[in-house]
Amino acid sequence: MPPKARISKEMIIEEAFQIARTEGVDRVTARRISKSLKCSTQPVLYYFTTIDEIKKAVYQQATGYHTNWIMNMECDDKDPMLSIGMNYIRFAVQERHLFHLLFQSNEFTGISLIDLIQSEELEPIMQVLQQEAEVTIAEAREIFTTLFIFVHGYASILANNEIVYDEKLLEISLTKAFYGAIYATKEVHNEEDI
């Protein structure tokens, strides 16, 4: 029976993810991963023929990590959409390197904002929004589009600059944007019905 491999593909992905998380995805190299795992580059290059393959695996892991992060609504069960928005911005502040990897690395080239918002991954958020705002799924997507632009803009400013993070101000601003988007969407649909 051959000896059990000491370094697994999962270990390589996890180590690459941790490097991307703490130092940035640009620091993910076969040499850097092997140094962290205290092995030669041979196991890394055995499982992955290019560094881009590793970065794609890291991107997938980061996507799941981000989803779990923003959907953690332990802090504020009474207002799930506020919790999701606040968590998105907190992620940008506390996990800057992963935020850059996920949202500022040109992964969405050729995808429209509408395609992004209609993606299957966002369905749980759309359902929460639909229930909370008491709107149709189409209206929920309209509201989400407005909120996404606002929240992503705020998150990007904080992730890319040394600006003071003011949680209370952020919460007030996000609440106003949320109710404003609901009001505006319902008003437009009411006018269309007349």
Structure tokens belonging to residue 66: 């981000």
- Nearest of 155, 49, 171, 164 to residue 102 by alpha carbon: 155
Name the strand (E) or helix (H) holding 106.
none
pTM assigned to the model: 0.85
pLDDT digits (tens, 9 = 90+) for 72-97: 866 555 788 889 999 999 999 999 99
- Nearest of 108, 131, 130 to residue 119 by alpha carbon: 108
- Nearest of 183, 190, 175, 189 to residue 85 by alpha carbon: 175
Segments of the chain with pLDDT less than 70: 1-5, 73-77, 107-110, 190-194
Q: How far apart are CA 29 and CA 179, in angstroms?
A: 45
Q: Find the DSSP H helices in 7-76.
A: 9-23, 30-37, 42-47, 51-70
Encoded amino acid at 152, one letter: H
Q: Return the pLDDT at 163.
A: 86
